[in-house]
Chains A and B, each alone.
Chain A
Amino acid sequence: MTCDRIEGLLSPYLEGELGDEARRLVDLHLEACPDCRNLLAALTETRTALSGFPELEISESLRERLLEIPGKKMRFSLSLDFLLKPSLQPVFATAAVFMTLVSFYLFGPYKTAIDRTIDRKIHHGYSQVEKLYVKAGSFRDRLEAGKDNLLVSVKNLEIFGGSKDQTQQ
């Protein structure tokens, strides 16, 4: 077995995870190879050193900072969390599109042309409404004028007791 192959087996060897056969091969190699023996000794020392790091206590200032977090979080969640609701996303999207269009209008180079077009459209719409209003007025006058004739014609109908001649008149 080569030293490279042994290197890969040293950790499981130390942790007792090798099968009998592999363990025997590593033992045989170690007996014959001083470099790998040295590496194994260094590996053992490394593991001992790592496991010997003491666990440090946290500072009082850190403890205080950590204890303040839930309060801060709660204030945030009471005030702003509702903004994160998925149901509000279409509203935000629409608002974003609207704001974009408004910014194009306000800061774009065609503001005057747009204003003129809007004025024209408004005037056009206004004149259309005026025309409709005049038409409606003349229609009402015609209806009022023909109202009396219509009533007489209806009264002279045979089914209401009138005669044919009167109807023709």
Chain B
Amino acid sequence: MLVNAYAKRVFNLAYQFAGSYQEAEDMTQDIFLKLYGTLSKYDVRRDFTAWLLTVARNHLIDAYRRTKWEKTSRDEFDEHGLAAGESADPEAGLEAAASRKIIWDSLNLLSPDIRMAVILRDIQDKSYEEIAQMAGVPVGTIKSRVNRGRLQLAGILKENKESDHDL
């Protein structure tokens, strides 16, 4: 039941963070192993999804710090269907996919804390308060991390677009 309800969410968080499908599968398995081991410590007054994502977040960042994934490149953007998107206008759809590719390739340039904050806020659509609770830091710190991450990614996107125009 836990697997059916949460595996997809945990896997997607791991994949967005790590950028490697194989790595994300292994991480998801590790996170579920950890979850089953720590279920007895779960405080029933807490929101279960938030608790589960906290365990997943902490595990991903710890594993990143141990293994330094930034040295490994991310999967090709269209390798696992990330390029798929719905758009009425095919040209706009292509442009959006091109932007997503640049952002996808650039995510590993962000530090782990900033990358995780950006993923949780802008991809997983979590509130600043939820992210702050998961990370155990003040809301202001998360806002600052998200802003810095977005600015870094926007800068890269802008440079890429400008160099495309020059060509």
Tell me whether A48 is interfacial, beta carbon within 8 Å: yes
Secondary structure class of chain B's binding surface, majority of residues? helix
CA of A51 to CA of B150 in the docked complex: distance in angstroms?
A: 12
Name the one of A46, A48, A55 contacting B12, with C-beta atoms under 8 angstroms. A55
Give the contacts of A48-63 with B (CB-CB under 8 A). Answer: 48-59, 61-63
How many residues of B are counted as interface, with CB atoms below 8 angstroms from the partner's CB atoms?
Answer: 41
- Which residue on chain A has the smallest CB distance to residue B83? A54
Chain B residue at minimal CB-CB distance from A35: B158
CB-CB contacts below 8 Å: B145-167 with A: 146-147, 150-151, 153-155, 157-158, 161
Residue B136, interface by CB 8 Å: no
Q: A1-57: which have CB < 8 Å to B?
A: 7-8, 10-12, 38-39, 42-43, 45-57
Of chain B, the residue at the smallest CB distance from A43 is B154
Residue among A11, A42, A50, A57 with max Cβ neighbours from chain B (10 Å): A50
- The answer to whether A54 touches B85 (Cβ under 8 A) is yes
Is B103 interfacial (CB-CB < 8 Å)? yes
CA gap between A70 and B36 in the complex, in Å:
7
Report the minimum CB–CB distance from B74 to chain A (whole Å). Answer: 12
Q: Is B141 an interface residue, CB under 8 A from the partner?
A: no
Instruction: Return 17 A-B CB contacts under 8 Å, by A number.
Output: A7-B151, A11-B146, A39-B154, A45-B99, A46-B157, A49-B100, A49-B103, A50-B118, A50-B123, A51-B123, A53-B123, A54-B84, A58-B7, A62-B25, A62-B29, A63-B7, A66-B32
Interface residues of B (CB under 8 A from A): 3, 7-8, 11-12, 15-16, 25, 28-29, 32-33, 36-37, 80-82, 84-85, 96, 99-100, 102-104, 118-119, 122-123, 125, 143, 146-147, 150-151, 153-155, 157-158, 161
Q: Which residues of A contact B (CB under 8 A)?
A: 7-8, 10-12, 38-39, 42-43, 45-59, 61-63, 65-67, 69-70, 73
Extra pairs beyond A47-B150, A48-B99, A50-B122 (8, CB < 8 Å): A10-B147, A12-B147, A42-B154, A43-B151, A46-B99, A51-B123, A63-B3, A73-B37
